[in-house]
Structure 1
Amino acid sequence: MKMENNERTLVAGSTGSLGLEIVKLLREKNINVRALVLSENESSKVTPYTNDIFIGDASGGAEEIKGLTSGVTTVISALGKSVSLFTPSEDSFFETDYLANKTILEDAVKNGVKRFVYVSIKGADVEKDYSIAKAHKMFENELRASGLDYTILRPVGFFSGLNDLAILAKRKVIPVIGDGTAKTNSIHHKDLAKVVVSYRENGSDIIEVGGPNIYTRMEMAKMIENKIGGQIIKIPTPMAKIGAALPKIFSEGMHDKLDYFTFITTNDMIGEQNGSISFEEYLAGLDLNELP
């Protein structure tokens, strides 16, 4: 398949649910893609779409990814630590979301990359220093100061980010923090990938991105209940905050995730409406056997 001129786009986080969709879309558009993967084992996920694969751990420092962006025109970074409570990781949000992206950015500046598109999160600009939001905020500041042309996309949340509730529903409990009236328009990763790719060449500095439909947290919980079963249980916000503090004794990462989850589920998280895939459609296609 003939590729579009000599321009090359690097996708960091290429094997994640969002990153892989971005790689697929770029391939469909005949755009040369370089995929950054963490290990040889992960490279098989992207080999159907590109043979330009760079294996390296950006959180390990500049030497780990030296030359990564050589010959690259645009960097798209969907690189970040999973916020799922069921996806453990030894790396911190600081290491994965900030340091790794900073190392890629420095390589990009050194190699004359023209543009950098970064997938952050809605809430990165909140005053309280949630560890997850703070890591994104710190990198956003680095990107602004880099001198590169850039776009920062702040999705309000992925449908797949709600899989934790589906996992808990399989275990017969669907927790709703607060009164469940907080609203959001989370987005399917395929719809978000289309938005990300649309800003590959140019676009606004910062965009808050959401999906096509706005739901309350309670409405989404009831959709999960209808699909999977389980009992919806309301957890008072003060109790949830206490609960978020307790795991800090055992796991800093678990504390960070619970703390931020409490914040986003008790505040309206609404972005510019995009895409066409509804939450009901996402749930209908969810293979419960793939969930732990």
Structure 2
Amino acid sequence: MAMLRLPTATPGAAANGVRQWKREGLQIVRRALDEGYDVRCLVRPRPAPADFLRDWGATVVNADLTKPETIPATLVGVHTVIDCATGRPEEPIKTVDWEGKVALIQCAKAMGIQKYVFYSIHNCDKHPEVPLMEIKYCTENFLRDSGLNHIVIRLCGFMQGLIGQYAVPILEEKSVWGTDAPTRIAYMDTQDIARLTFIALRNEKVNGKLLTFAGPRAWTTQEVITLCERLAGQDANVTTVPVSVLRLTRQLTRFFEWTNDVADRLAFSEVLTSDTIFSVPMAETYNLLGVDTKDIITLEKYLQDYFTNILKKLKDLKAQSKQSDIFF
């Protein structure tokens, strides 16, 4: 989650992560600092503090969305809240993503926060059978009804997530997991998400609006794998999981109380492996924000840059290793 504070001359920002820093959360903090905002990062008390945030120049404060009494002190002097927090995998989804968000929104309203930005999921209003998506949609409505000046941003998918899911396993010759579904997702670079978010923050025409950020093109899993194979110069070891197996697993986990949350997360996976298209036309949004389509990075360019850099590093390491070999 991120919050913006008012420094001497310019509005500032502060960000908070709940389990670990989410991909867009990290880029929000970086972007806010680069643009001169004062950044306050809200994190749960934990043994391994997020010292890197302080190194970047942000202020880190401890609080917990599951403990509403810890929230008010963190909002003192804050101008804008950018909410990109989410719960830990082992926690019930409602604990942070609903109950915690309700407490945060109520506190923000009581303390006169001037703007609240909430990250949601594309098509969350169309899948009430998926607990996380239903909660996102309910939170959107709760935020709207709160009377807070707000912006809701629905996201489709992150390019950064594809590195660990596909790129790294292919390079390490490990299994790549996929499904047999024709789902298409318009992945977006989290740096572009952060940049567009701050453009929206400064645009009064966007207040109270629901925006959806999508990448230039929607990709199937197989298309992403094929692209990674071409850029890596080697074939992937693909293990395909039929959608029917996910459905059966979800039904079985519903029988046991302690696996209900697993079933909830499988429900989300099932939507992602259906024939749904997670994408929207962006021309109107770009026009509203004054953004040129050519300034949005494509998945081809993002992955090409990644593989070019990583393969160069691997080549350099291999060369250094040969130079250090000792022969007798």
- The TM tier, using the shorter chain, reads 0.7 to 0.9
Aligned residue in 1 for 2:179 = 176
Alpha carbons 2:86, 2:96 under 8 Å: kept = yes
2-structure distance, mates of 1:44, 1:79: 18
Aligned residue in 1 for 2:259 = 251
User: Which of residues 3, 8, 14 is equivalent to 1:10?
Assistant: 14
Residue 52 in structure 1 maps to residue 59 in structure 2: yes
Shift of residue 122, structure 1, vs aligned partner: 0.8
User: Which of residues 290, 293, 298 is equivalent to 1:278?
Assistant: 298
**Secondary structure class of the residue paired with 1:47:** helix
Aligned residue in 2 for 1:119 = 119
Residue 191 in structure 1 maps to residue 192 in structure 2: yes
User: Which of residues 49, 62, 71 is equivalent to 1:42?
Assistant: 49
Relative to its length, the structure with more helix (as a share) is 2
User: Which of residues 226, 230, 250 is equivalent to 1:222?
Assistant: 226
2-structure distance, mates of 1:57, 1:7: 24
Aligned residue in 2 for 1:146 = 146
Query: Alpha carbons of 1:167 and 1:6: their partners in 2 closer, same or farther (altered >3 Å)?
Result: closer
Aligned residue in 2 for 1:86 = none
2-structure distance, mates of 1:243, 1:98: 25
2-structure distance, mates of 1:117, 1:106: 14
**Secondary structure class of the residue paired with 1:138:** helix
Ranges in structure 1 where 5+ consecutive residues have no aligned partner: 83-88
Aligned residue in 2 for 1:101 = 101
Alpha carbons 2:225, 2:236 under 8 Å: kept = no
Shift of residue 213, structure 1, vs aligned partner: 2.7
Alpha carbons 2:29, 2:39 under 8 Å: kept = yes
Cα deviation, 1:219-248, whole Å, max 9, x if unaligned, reads: 113234444743345544333322333455
Aligned residue in 2 for 1:20 = 26
Task: Provide the identity percentage.
Answer: 20
1-structure distance, mates of 2:247, 2:228: 24
1-structure distance, mates of 2:124, 2:185: 16
Aligned residue in 1 for 2:278 = 269
- What is the RMSD computed on CA atoms of the aligned residues? 3.0
Aligned residue in 1 for 2:201 = 200
2-structure distance, mates of 1:221, 1:213: 15
Q: Which residue identity is paired with 1:209?
A: F
Ranges in structure 2 where 5+ consecutive residues have no aligned partner: 1-6, 283-292, 312-328
2-structure distance, mates of 1:49, 1:65: 23
Q: Say which is worse superposed, 140-149 or 39-48, in terms of deviation.
A: 39-48
Alpha carbons 2:53, 2:59 under 8 Å: kept = no
Q: Say which is worse superposed, 234-243 or 100-109, in terms of deviation.
A: 234-243
2-structure distance, mates of 1:5, 1:176: 51
2-structure distance, mates of 1:17, 1:153: 15
Q: Report the TM-score, using the length of structure 1 for normalisation.
A: 0.82
Residue 213 in structure 1 maps to residue 217 in structure 2: yes
Relative contact order higher in (CA < 8 Å, ≥ 6 apart): 1
2-structure distance, mates of 1:258, 1:144: 29
Alpha carbons 1:34, 1:50 under 8 Å: kept = no
Q: Report the TM-score, using the length of structure 2 for normalisation.
A: 0.74
**Secondary structure class of the residue paired with 2:91:** coil
1-structure distance, mates of 2:188, 2:32: 20
